[in-house]
Amino acid sequence: MHILHVVGARPNFMKAAPVLRALAARGARQTLVHTGQHYDRNMSDVFFTQLEIPEPDFNLGVGSGSQAQQTAHVMTAFEPVVLEIKPDVVLVYGDVNSTVAATLVCAKLLVRIGHVEAGLRSFDRTMPEEINRMVTDRLADLLFTPSEDGNANLLSEGVPPEKIHLVGNVMIDSLVQLLPAATKIPRNGLPERYALVTLHRPSNVDDSESLRSILAALLEVSERMPVVFPAHPRTRQRIADFGVNVDKLYLVEPAPYIEFLALQRGATVVITDSGGIQEETTFLGVPCLTLRSNTERPVTVTMGTNILVGQDRKKLSSELIRIFEGKGKTGTIPPLWDGHTGDRIADILLRL
Ligand code: UD1
């Protein structure tokens, strides 16, 4: 059984690491392909080091571009790799452009596809990730879901039940593994209490009005509590393009994985538009306010610490007040978010 993994962007790395490790422990033959969708050291290399991901066998070096360009570049560069390696199964992760591009290539070459983090739906087709999720799940042969809602979504779309495997949240495997290291990070002059912010969705940062409104809200927050803001390259670029003064925020470089876990763990509140961070804060029991009106990860709201505030500044500030008063949302950890998802996926694959 030869398994080929495709990763491309930052949120793929913490999902692939546990599966690579579990399969290596079982002696499986593996090939790792990095599409190069994310290429900055602090968006990519540092994650490979901290998560102990082996050096990729292939780096496709596709880089940035429009949605179509990026997807097409991955497809044209990935096809010859599949033809050369002839894997038995290709594993794709999450919902980024590299995920859907690799899936399209494999579907046409009749290579079996496994999708890790299948079944998530925001039901919002304005998000490029939602299109990527729908197409990937439609074409995949093995759908590894993180929670029951994923199974329900896939069944309602007509996916045969035998293709669906509820395995739990693989990203939590990486969190569980590296949380002890995160507790050892020195606080480096960080204040005792702070709000941690991340922001990178095109709908929030590419539109001048949305970005200005969110930054104005964050500047308001900073009057009550320091705001630590590790900025994604696209967000930093937009802040510069729109000429917004953010001197009052602690704008820092994107944090490596372990440092970011430490930052989340120590935060009074996390304010984000990311998908994965909604899950990590739920696991850590840290209140999370999500700057989106929907989520493909509803268990973080129903069971976890997540609240959707959308673009509603009144809701953001009223929820913040509750958190500052120590009345933030508490929650529980969803079933199977236990650090063993990689093992479950490996066992299923090796039984094929
Ligand atoms: C991608 C994913 C998103 C995920 C996010 C995490 C898609 C559709 N989106 O969005 O789901 O949450 O990654 O970060 O795949 N850039 C750099 N250096 C890099 C990478 C990107 O400077 O290493 C800049 C480039 O200017 C690029 C922009 O960021 O144009 C956007 O990168 P891109 O890969 O297109 O999407 P993300 O916004 O990172």
- Separation of CA 163 and ligand 1 centre (Å): 30
What tens-digit pLDDT sequence spans the chain (352 residues)? 999 999 999 999 999 999 999 999 999 999 999 999 999 999 999 999 999 999 999 999 999 999 999 999 999 999 999 999 999 999 999 999 999 999 999 999 999 999 999 999 999 999 999 999 999 999 999 999 999 999 999 999 999 999 999 999 999 999 999 999 998 887 777 888 999 999 999 999 999 999 999 999 999 999 999 999 999 999 999 999 999 999 999 999 999 999 999 999 999 999 999 999 999 999 999 999 999 999 999 999 999 999 999 999 899 999 999 999 999 999 999 999 999 999 999 999 999 9
CA 235 to chain centroid: 17
Q: What is the spatial distance between Cα 266 and Cα 329, in angstroms, rounded to a whole number?
A: 16
Q: How far is the CA of 330 from the centre of ligand 1 (A)?
A: 31
In the structure encoding, which two tokens stand for residue 110, read together? 């009749």
Q: Is the CB of 73 under 6 A from ligand 1?
A: no
Cβ atoms 118, 164 nearer than 8 A: yes
What one-character DSSP code corresponds to residue 43? G
15 lines ligand 1 (CB under 6 A): no
For the CA of 40, the closest atom of ligand 1 is 23
- C-beta of 232 in contact with ligand 1 (< 6 A): yes
**Ligand 1 centroid to residue 63 C-alpha, Å:** 9
Atom of ligand 1 nearest to the CA of 38: 23
Helix-, strand-, coil-residue percentages of the chain, each rounded to 5: 45, 15, 40
Helix (H, G, I), strand (E, B) or coil at 142: strand
Superfamily of 2-168+337-350 according to CATH: Glycogen Phosphorylase B; (3.40.50.2000)
Decide whether any atom of ligand 1 lies within 6 Å of the 9 Cβ.
yes
Ligand 1 nearest atom to the CA of residue 128, by list position? 8
277 in Cβ contact with 292 (< 8 Å): no
The answer to whether residue 200 is catalytic is: yes
User: Residue 168, CB half-sphere, CA atoms under 13 Å: how many?
Assistant: 22
> Rounded to an integer, what distance in angstroms lies between the CA atom of residue 266 and that of residue 225?
14
β-sheet with 306-308: strand ranges across: 250-252, 227-230, 195-198, 269-272, 288-290, 306-308
- Residue 34 Cβ inside 6 Å of ligand 1? The answer reads no
With a 6 Å cutoff on the Cβ, whether 65 touches ligand 1 is: no
Name the closest-CA residue to atom 15, ligand 1: 96
Given this model, what pLDDT does residue 184 score? 84
Q: Where exactly are the structural domains of the chain? A: 2-168+337-350, 181-324
Closest residue to atom 12 of ligand 1, CA basis: 274
Separation CA 37–CA 98 (nearest Å)? 7
H helices present in 109-186, as ranges: 128-139, 148-156, 170-182
Whether residue 234 has its Cβ less than 6 Å from ligand 1: yes
Q: Atom 21, ligand 1: which residue's CA is nearest?
A: 38
Catalytic residue, candidates 34, 38, 165, 200: 200
Topology alike, domains 2-168+337-350 and 181-324: yes
Contact, 335 vs 14, CB < 8 A? no
Q: How far is the CA of 77 from the centre of ligand 1 (A)?
A: 19
Ligand 1 pocket residue status of 206, Cβ below 6 Å: no
206 Cα: distance to centroid of ligand 1 (angstroms): 12
- Which residue, by CA, sits nearest to atom 38 of ligand 1? 200
Q: What CATH architecture is 181-324?
A: 3-Layer(aba) Sandwich (3.40)
Which atom of ligand 1 lies closest to the CA of 95?
11
The pTM assigned to this predicted structure is: 0.97
Distance 40 CA to ligand 1 centre (A): 10
